[in-house]
Amino acid sequence: MATFTDPEKTSRLKEQMDQSRKQYEQEKYKKITQKHVPKVSILKNAVNAFWVGGLICAVAQTLFNIFSNAGFTVKEANAIVAMIMIFLGAFLTGIGVYDSIAKVGGAGAMVPVTGFANSIVAPAMEFKKEGYVFGIGAKMFSIAGPVLVYGIVTSIIVGLIAFTIM
């Protein structure tokens, strides 16, 4: 009986073998590289994120206490505090200090609303040379845009569900 070989099938098989050999080589190489990558100190980073983030929130709380003692409602005081914190984050980014805070604080500097302000000012400033409309105007939202999109989308989905249930 003559053996039947489909040339197309053979070449596909060869391709698959090459593919999987390449994948195996790449996996092997990945293991080698991992040995040489210095370990980040998770503990040290976590402690730094904790106190930097905590400190920023404590500053905000101090402001909140001042404004609510001055007779503003919780809602109003919250709005004023958010505005001041955003101003501070934006200003510290403008004078070139905020990236140094983030170098130490990591997520402690990125997650508070001051970090949100940084994510607006940093690209806006950087791309000013590309013009006031498509430089500043468009690039302001390179990170803030996605945050607004997902925040608003999630809240509206929640709202629609809540509306249906009620």
Name which of residues 90 to 109 contact other proteins (CB under 8 A): 90-91, 93-96, 98-99, 101-103, 105-109
Nearest to 107 by CA among 118, 96, 97: 118
Could you give the CA distance from residue 139 to residue 123 in angstroms, rounded to a whole number?
6
According to CB under 8 A, which one of 2, 33, 70, 71 is a site residue for other proteins?
33
Nearest to 151 by CA among 140, 162, 161, 159: 159
Judged by CB under 8 A, does residue 60 bind other proteins? yes
Q: How far is the CB of 89 from other proteins (least distance, A)?
A: 8
x/- track of binding to other proteins for residues 61-80 (CB under 8 A): xxxxx------------xxx
Q: Which residues are CB-neighbours of 109 under 8 A, at least 6 positions away?
A: 52, 53, 56, 98, 101, 102, 115, 118
According to CB under 8 A, which one of 50, 66, 73, 134 is a site residue for other proteins?
50
Q: How far is the CB of 71 from other proteins (least distance, A)?
A: 17
Enumerate residues 142-161 that contact other proteins by CB under 8 A. 142-144, 146-148, 150-152, 154-156, 158-161
- On whether the CB atoms of residues 155 and 131 are closer than 8 A, the answer is no
Judged by CB under 8 A, does residue 13 bind other proteins? no
User: Can you read off the two tokens belonging to residue 79?
Assistant: 């709005």
With CB under 8 A, what is the number of residues at the site for other proteins?
102
Q: Which residue has the tokens 């402001």?
A: 63
Backbone angles phi, psi at 41, to 5 degrees: -80, 100
Q: How far is the CB of 17 from other proteins (least distance, A)?
A: 17
